Structures are given as C-alpha cells and as structure tokens.
Amino acid sequence: MTRVALTDSPTGLPSPYAVFGRTEWARLSESHPMNLTGDDLTRLRGLGEPVDLDEVESVYLPLSRLLYFYVEATHGLRLATSEFLGERPTRVPFVVGVAGSVAVGKSTTARILRELMLRWPHTPRVELVTTDGFLYPNKVLEERGLLQRKGFPESYDRRALLKFVADVKSGELAVEARQYSHLTYDVLPATVTIRKPDVLIVEGLNVLQPPTVRSDGTNTGSISDFFDFSVYVDADLEDIRRWYVERFLRLRQTAFADPKSYFHRYAALSDAQARATATDIWTRINEPNLIENIEPTKGRATLVLAKGSDHSVETIKLRKL
C-alpha cells in the first residue's frame, strides 16, 4: 500500500492520513460484488462527468465496504455505551457528510454512495439530503444583499440546518427537510419527510464548516459535529474552473433552454459569450468561496477523494489519526 510519509504535511507535522493510489485502493474491495449497472450510472452521474463503472468498482465500491464496517462498528460502540449507562439501546442513524466545490462532482459521489449503500445486507434505509434546501430564499438574500454570495456560509439558514441534522441524529421518527429547485434557482415551499434512516448522507459546499464564534464567546455549532464519517471531493483549482465553464456551456442546451429556468437568459449566448459569462461568475463567486470557505475544511474530512484533470479519482486519503 502507498502510505504518506510522517512529514507529508505543509506544517512538517505528522500527517493524519494514509494515502492510496487507485490500484491499491481497489484491492480493498475484497472481491465485494459490483451490483451497479451502466443504466444505474447514467441515472446517477452529473452533467458532463465521465465517471464509469470501472471507477465505481475501483473507488466507490471499496469506500462503500469501508462505510459498512464503520456503521457496524459505530453501532457496536453505542450498544456498549448504552449498556454502561444502563440505558435501553437504540439504533442511531449514521450520518455521512460529502463536501467539495461547485462542479467538482460531490453530488455524483453522494448519489453513487447512496445507491451502493442501498444494496447492503438487510436493505438499509439510506436518505440523501443536500444543503441547497437550507439556503435562504432569494427574496431574503436580496434583502440582505447576499444574492451574489449564494453558497457562502452566510447564505444558509444554519440554525435550521443544524436542527434538522440534530433531529435526525437524535432518532426523531419524522423530520422535514427543505428542498431546492435548480431550475428556478430558489428554495421550494414543499419539504420531504426523512423517516429515521439507517444512514443519512448530507451533501453540500460547506458541510465541514467549523463553528463560528459569536461576539459573546458562544458559537453557532457545526453540523459536522453530528457526522460519523465525512468525504471531501478534491481537485486542482484550475481543473475545477475548467469543469465549471464546460458544464455552463452544456447547460445552454439542457436546463437553461427551459423558459422557466432562472438562467434562461443565458441559453442563447454564443460559445465565446458563454465562456466569458461563466468565467466571470466563477471568478466573482465560486472561486472566492472555494478558497476562503470550502478548501480550508478539507483537513476535517475522514476521507479525501483527489481527482485528476480528467475528472477521475486518482488518490484516496484516509484519516487514521
């Protein structure tokens, strides 16, 4: 196995991660059966993402196996704690966070993991919730002058998001999750009910954000405090920018073409105009958010999936310390 050197860290301190190349990582699946099909993958992957069945088998299948071990071990630890405290043991939902930049492929990662987990023994209940639904509505963002900072930490209703994850984690029988429309670029009035899942996946830009300290010394809390495992999808900044621009160009013929789309005005742009517009949006909004808020949380993840310039995962870093 490929392992990181003890000083493989910008600070010169021991790294908490063991690092695996894709081939070494693939061997950890232990011949676990691959049960996703090409049709499944077509349904799960995002626009323009080249993930194929080979990548699912060599990267995501071993990760699914690892998560199964984590779920069972965590349940065993909670049973032991309940026995020690003299409490009646209950099965607490296992919560997985998936973080990363816009256009890096975190949504596809979350969907693939959910699909693989659904095929675990005993058919566990696995729910996937994105934090987009916990953005403030556009009207509120406009009133607060935050519409151009959508996706930054301050654009989310952190109190509502924290309460949602805490309620699920505490074993509430039914918890309402807000929903978001990428067509209208706004929060929907309808909600979806999450009913005590075995596993909850929470996917979003800032899910690994640490608490913010208030002026009185108290803090806002962090949803990552409720995570049992977290994944950060990583790539070089210039690659992510290129993927974002390429996706923007493709969206002109898909989502932007719908007259109901918030971005319908971009559908008729020429290639040159679309590239210029996408680059401007990336430079003003997405890149600063990535540099200031998202990328600094990478070191809080349990596992980092590092992608190469072709959008495929090349390196896997697993926290061991």
Q: What is the mean pLDDT of residues 235-260?
A: 94
Q: What is the mean pLDDT of residues 43-63?
A: 87
User: Which architecture characterizes domain 17-319 according to CATH?
Assistant: 3-Layer(aba) Sandwich (3.40)
Is pLDDT above 50 for 307? yes
Domain ranges of the chain: 17-319
Structure tokens at 111: 């969907």
More confident residue, 297 or 45: 297
pLDDT bin (cut points 50, 70, 90) of residue 4 is very low
Q: Give tens-digit pLDDT for 262-283.
A: 999 999 999 999 999 999 999 9
206-218 burial string, b = 16+ CB within 10 Å, else e? bbbbeeeeeeeee
Q: What is the mean pLDDT of residues 240-248?
A: 96
From the CB of residue 238, how many other CB atoms can be counted at a distance below 10 Å? 9
More confident residue, 318 or 217: 318
Q: How far apart are CA 212 and CA 219, in angstroms?
A: 5
Q: Are 134 and 188 in contact (CB under 8 A)?
A: no
pLDDT bin (cut points 50, 70, 90) of residue 218 is confident
Q: Are 313 and 52 in contact (CB under 8 A)?
A: no
User: What is the residue-averaged pLDDT of the chain?
Assistant: 90
